[in-house]
Amino acid sequence: MTITLYVSCDSTARSLGADAVANAIRSEALLRNIEIRLIRNSSRGLFWLEPLVEVATEAGRVGYGPVTVEDVPALFDAGFQQGGEHRLALGLVEELPYLKRQERLTFARMGITDPLSLDDYLQHEGYAGLEKALALSGRQIVETVTESGLRGRGGAAFPTGIKWNTVLESESDQKYVVCNADEGDSGTFSDRMVMEGDPFMLIEGMTIAGLAVGATEGYIYVRSEYPQAFATLEEAIRIASRYGYLGSNILGSDKAFNLQVRKAAGSYVCGEETAMLESLEGKRGMVRAKPPLPAVHGLFGQPTVINNVISLAAVPLILARGAAYYRDFGMGRSRGTLPLQLTGNIRYGGLVEKAFGVTLRELIDDFGGGTESGRPVRAVQVGGPLGAYLSAGQLDVEVDYEALAAIGGVLGHGGIVVFDDTVDMAEQARFAMEFCALESCGKCTPCRIGSPRGVEVIDKIIAGQQVESQITLLRDLCATMQDGSLCAMGGMTPYPVLSALDHFPEDFAAAPVRKAG
Ligand SMILES: Cc1cc2nc3c(=O)[nH]c(=O)nc-3n(C[C@H](O)[C@H](O)[C@H](O)COP(=O)(O)O)c2cc1C
Ligand code: SF4
């Protein structure tokens, strides 16, 4: 009997040795004359267990991890191919509490399917949403997405249905759908996981967006540091086109949608939607003033839907199961689920998809197992490099756009970066200003000039020079950046700076006190 084994092809799993483990399993099976079928599946996102090897048994998939090349002969000796006992045995993977306590809607296929197998995708509810969409008018699709309560997962949390409606109502012979896959936020990787692990889901979501608004061309702007995501998407687009899921007559209909992948320019600000459009048009990634909105005057001056990978990836399920199914998850105005990414100083880093309403404490303690160092959590940055630092006392806040805003935070793209009590928050504040200085597109003065001045002021504070007056100056500078910047790059850099000042004032005290602390 052929034994079916799974080793992830996700780039995190590969960076942890998954390719070598897969090769070792193949060689060992050959040596022992055991017939195996080794599938390179997507990753479950339980990264501390990678390389995770799963074995198909009658009871379900049994997991072993993290596996090294050296472990492989002993795993065969233990009969792991039948789910045998071994010190790395994890039992049924689906029963692991980390997975079982999640609400995986967007990430339902993650770790289960072979990313480039269209059959696998179809067998796991793939393209059910597109089939439904093809029977609806554009307006009905937009209404469904609006009713689902989906809000943009790229950072600004703008209602997706309302954005689509603006594009639908904009008259033009040519409209576009652009997927923002620049994923520059610190501590985030959910877009990458989708592109590498479930590319047809993104393609399906973009195709539905095209049908909804009347766009026939789409672009995916992929972060330049994601070569595997780029290659996987290109191959998936070739396959989808070959089988009629893209092209001039989608599934035999009179609807057309074509898709292309573009390599991003390697700059954080190119993730800002108007800078991304400039970059896609072959220009330098400078932010455009709004209005006009990209929904009216976007790529090449035409009405354009711009959405994050996760927003678009949520769409097939919304169409397949209905708006109410999705909307029933979540709290308040935050409907559905969010793939949260646990990183930084955390024991069990990985992907946790939960309905809105879970608390940060549950995520960091129950899922993440606290810090990797074993020391107390001191600060948590949520929402990327422009997100506020939260203190350990604020972790009971619910993951909800409004709840986080109420305490001065942002949810952004769902990246959660944990720091223990050795962190120096003055250094972190300096880092925020330095990051802005490096990444600023330079178009407006508060950001271009303000951020390097911010670095200088924080340097003086760190050196213990006129600390009080420099802190006043820093707050003043932050207010100018917040009020006067053209985009959120300069407008939000004060979030990490001011939150560090507000929650961790002891780190900005005069030098002797800092040393004593
Ligand atoms: C400096 C900066 C960087 C950004 N980077 C990204 C990014 O990498 N990915 C993304 O989806 N949105 C990013 N955004 C937000 C986008 O401008 C835009 O709001 C988003 O792509 C819209 O999609 P959504 O409605 O699906 O969230 C960034 C915004 C700013 C100001
Ligand atoms: S805030 Fe910064 S990144 Fe944004 S437009 Fe102004 S200079 Fe450019």
CATH of 425-508, one of 1.20.1440.230, 1.20.58.390, 3.40.50.720, 3.40.50.300: 1.20.1440.230
Pocket lining: 315 vs ligand 1, CB cutoff 6 Å: no
Copy the structure tokens of residue 248.
């001039």
SS3 390: strand
Pocket lining: 104 vs ligand 1, CB cutoff 6 Å: no
Cα separations (Å) of 493 from 37, 90, 387, 395, 430?
50, 43, 8, 22, 11
Ligand closest to Cα of 436 equals: 2
CATH of 3-95, one of 3.30.300.20, 3.50.50.60, 3.40.50.970, 3.40.30.10: 3.40.30.10
* pLDDT tens-digit readout, 201-247: 999 999 999 999 999 999 999 999 999 999 999 999 999 999 999 99
- In this chain, the answer to whether the domains covering 118-328 and 330-420 adopt an identical fold is no
Pocket lining: 134 vs ligand 2, CB cutoff 6 Å: no
For residue 516, is pLDDT > 70? no
* pLDDT tens-digit readout, 2-55: 999 999 999 999 999 999 999 999 999 999 999 999 999 999 999 999 999 999
For residue 512, is pLDDT > 80? no
CA distance 355 to 364: 16
Pocket lining: 311 vs ligand 1, CB cutoff 6 Å: yes
CA distance 470 to 146: 47
Asked if 335 and 148 count as a contact pair (C-beta separation under 8 A), the reply is yes
- Determine phi and psi for 374, rounding to 5 degrees: 85, -5
Ligand closest to Cα of 491 equals: 2
* CA 411 / ligand 2 centre spacing (Å): 21
CA distance 461 to 478: 15
Cα separations (Å) of 233 from 41, 115, 276?
15, 10, 19
CATH of 118-328, one of 3.30.30.60, 3.40.50.11540, 3.30.499.10, 1.25.40.10: 3.40.50.11540
Pocket lining: 486 vs ligand 2, CB cutoff 6 Å: yes
CA distance 469 to 253: 68
Pocket lining: 484 vs ligand 2, CB cutoff 6 Å: no
Residue 193 burial (CB count, 10 A): 29
- Sorted by where each begins, the domain ranges of the chain are 3-95, 118-328, 330-420, 425-508
Average pLDDT value for the chain: 97
pTM: 0.97
Cα separations (Å) of 298 from 279, 306, 444?
12, 9, 21
> Percent of the chain beyond pLDDT 70?
98
Residues in CB range of 511: below 8 A, 6 or more apart: 462, 463, 464, 467
Tell me the mean pLDDT in the region 445-462. 98
Residue 291 burial (CB count, 10 A): 8
Nearest-CA residue for ligand 1 atom 22 is 307
pLDDT band at 121 (very low <50, low <70, confident <90, very high): very high
* CA 189 / ligand 2 centre spacing (Å): 24
pLDDT at position 1, please?
80
Ligand closest to Cα of 447 equals: 2
* The one-letter amino acid at 416: I
DSSP letter at 270 equals: G
CA 264 to chain centre: 16
* pLDDT tens-digit readout, 398-447: 999 999 999 999 999 999 999 999 999 999 999 999 999 999 999 999 99
Residues in the chain, overall count: 517
Residue 283 exposed, middle or buried by CB count within 10 Å (0-12, 13-18, 19+): exposed
Q: Rounded to the nearest 5 degrees, what angle is found at the Cα of 125, between the Cα atoms of 108 and 165?
A: 90
Pocket lining: 489 vs ligand 2, CB cutoff 6 Å: yes
Pocket lining: 444 vs ligand 2, CB cutoff 6 Å: yes
Pocket lining: 184 vs ligand 1, CB cutoff 6 Å: yes
Checking DSSP bridges between strand 350-355 and strand 389-391, what pairing results, if any?
A: unpaired
Tell me the mean pLDDT in the region 442-465. 97
Match 């504040």 to its residue by tokens. Answer: 429
Nearest atom in ligand 2 to the alpha carbon of residue 445 is: 7
Q: Which value, to the nearest 10 degrees, does the dihedral of the CA atoms of residues 60, 126, 153, 420 take?
A: 20
Ligand closest to Cα of 226 equals: 1
CA distance 366 to 502: 28
Pocket lining: 436 vs ligand 2, CB cutoff 6 Å: no
Asked if 348 and 101 count as a contact pair (C-beta separation under 8 A), the reply is no
For residue 514, is pLDDT > 70? no
Asked if 185 and 384 count as a contact pair (C-beta separation under 8 A), the reply is yes
Ligand closest to Cα of 451 equals: 2
For residue 69, is pLDDT > 60? yes
Cα separations (Å) of 495 from 175, 316, 429?
35, 34, 9
* pLDDT tens-digit readout, 256-298: 999 999 999 999 999 999 999 999 999 999 999 999 999 999 9
* CA 308 / ligand 1 centre spacing (Å): 7
Question: Which CATH number is 330-420 given?
Answer: 3.10.20.600
Copy the structure tokens of residue 462.
């760190």
Ligand 1 pocket test: pick from 293, 308, 489, 495 the residue with the most ligand atoms within 8 Å of its Cβ. Answer: 308
For residue 71, is pLDDT > 80? yes
Pocket lining: 223 vs ligand 1, CB cutoff 6 Å: no
